[in-house]
Amino acid sequence: MSDDGFGQSKPFDALNTRGLMAKREYVLGLEQRADSEALSLLVECLCDESWYLRELAEGAFMRLGTAHVEVLLPLLDEGLWYTRTSVARIVGRLGERRAVPALLRLCTDPNETVVEHAQQALVDIGRGNGAFRLAHALHGLPPDARRARLAELARRDRPLETRLQRMMDNDELMSAADPEAMADDHPLVRTSEEGVEWEVLTGPASSPEAGHDRTGPGGAPRPR
C-alpha cells in the first residue's frame, strides 16, 4: 500500500490533496471499526513506504490505546526499519511494559534511527509506570550489555537510571515471579521506594540526637 497505488489503479501525486484526504479517511475508518481485519490493515499501514500513511496509523494506534497493542509487538522484531521505528514510538508513548524486552534488543539494531527511538521508548516507559519492568529486564541481561543499556538511559534521564540501579539492588524485587504483572504502583515496588523521594529532596533523615538539640545554655530546655 504505497503512495503509488493507494486506492486506485494508476499512480497519483503523493502531495495531491485528494490523495492525502483519501488516506486520512481510510485510516480513520479502520480506527473506528477496530475489528481484527481493521487492525490488520492498520498494521499494513505501518509497513507502508508512505511516511504520511504511517503517521496516520501511529495516531490511530495511539488513540486506540493499549487494548490492541499486542498486534504491534511482533513488528519490533520483524518489521522494516521504519516500521520498527513507528512501533517503538507507539509503545513508548503508551507506556507498554510488555515491549521492554524487544526494545532492549532494538538498542543494538544496525539502524541508528531504530536505536534512537528504542532508547527513547524505554525512557518513556520507565518514566511512566514501567520502571520496575525495565529494571527487571535489565537485571536479566549479561553484565556488559546491562552496563551499556544503563549508560544509554543515563544520557537521556539520569534520575531514571539511578532509580533503576536502586531497584536492581533489591533482591526481593528482582526475584519477583511475575514481573509482567507488576507495575510501579504494585505494593512491593511502592514499599521498596518508601522514603526515597523525601531523602533525595532533603537529604537523609537526621537522628533525634543530631541537629535537634532542644536545650539552651546550661542544659535548660529551649522555649518552643
Please say whether the beta carbons of 197 and 131 come within 8 A.
no
| pLDDT in the model for residue 181 | 86
The rounded distance, in Å, linking the Cα atoms of 219 and 183 is 52
Burial class of residue 219 in the structure, from the number of CB atoms within 10 Å of its CB (0-12 exposed, 13-18 middle, 19+ buried): exposed
* Exposure class string for 165-188: b at 16+ Cβ within 10 A, else e: eebbebeebbebeebeebbbebee
Task: Give tens-digit pLDDT for 87-145.
Answer: 999 999 999 999 999 999 999 999 999 999 999 999 999 999 999 999 999 999 999 99
Task: Give tens-digit pLDDT for 26-37.
Answer: 999 999 999 999
Per the prediction, the chain carries an average pLDDT of 84
By percentage, how much of the chain surpasses pLDDT 90?
71
Least confident of 141-150, 180-189, 214-223: 214-223
pTM of the model: 0.79
| pLDDT in the model for residue 196 | 57
Task: Give tens-digit pLDDT for 66-85.
Answer: 999 999 999 999 889 999 99
| pLDDT in the model for residue 209 | 41
Asked whether the predicted pLDDT for residue 8 surpasses 70, the reply is no
